[in-house]
């Protein structure tokens, strides 16, 4: 299962700011680093994404076992900032396009 955290904080779906919060959070908890040619690489089981036009984080629930402190910090951040979080079946492929889509509301 995947945990999706969307940067939506109000019932009228206002975007959480700053717009690059997902990338900054993943880097801050140690799940991102720069690879060859100055490209950013994310740890297996997590990636930033865009869902319905909102910056988001997708993470595999297995991340709780492989990176427990980072997993807890991401969930704490989401809770404290009232971000929309939900579970969804799927996998993270780290391909050019994400292997999931946000649910229709």
Q: What is the pLDDT of residues 4-33, one digit of tens each?
A: 999 987 777 788 889 899 999 999 999 998
Give me the mean pLDDT over the 27-51 stretch. Answer: 90
54 class by beta-carbon count within 10 Å (0-12 exposed, 13-18 middle, 19+ buried): buried
Reference 59, options 100, 9, 24, 18; nearest CA is: 100
Instruction: Give the pLDDT confidence score for residue 97 in this predicted structure.
Output: 39
DSSP state of 15: B
Please check whether residue 104 lies inside any domain of the structure: no
Three-class DSSP category at 32: strand
Instruction: Give the pLDDT confidence score for residue 94 in this predicted structure.
Output: 56
d(CA 14, CA 60): 25
Instruction: Report whether pLDDT(105) > 70.
Output: no
Residues spanned by the domain of 29: 2-88
d(CA 86, CA 51): 12
Inter-helix orientation angle 68-80/21-28, to 10°: 140
The total number of structural domains in the chain stands at 1
Instruction: Give the pLDDT confidence score for residue 14 in this predicted structure.
Output: 81
Three-class DSSP category at 16: coil
Instruction: Return the CATH number at 70.
Output: 3.30.70.2340
Please check whether residue 50 lies inside any domain of the structure: yes
């Amino acid at each position: 299962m995947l945990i999706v955290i969307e940067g939506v904080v109000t019932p009228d779906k206002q975007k959480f700011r700053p717009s690059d919060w997902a990338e900054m959070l993943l880097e801050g908890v140690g799940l991102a680093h720069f690879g060859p040619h100055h490209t950013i690489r994310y740890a297996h089981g997590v990636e930033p994404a865009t869902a319905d036009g909102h910056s988001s984080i997708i993470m595999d629930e297995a991340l709780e076992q492989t990176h427990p402190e980072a997993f807890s910090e991401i969930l704490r951040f989401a809770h404290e900032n009232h971000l929309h979080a939900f579970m969804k079946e799927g996998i993270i492929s780290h391909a050019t396009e994400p292997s999931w889509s946000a649910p229709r509301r």
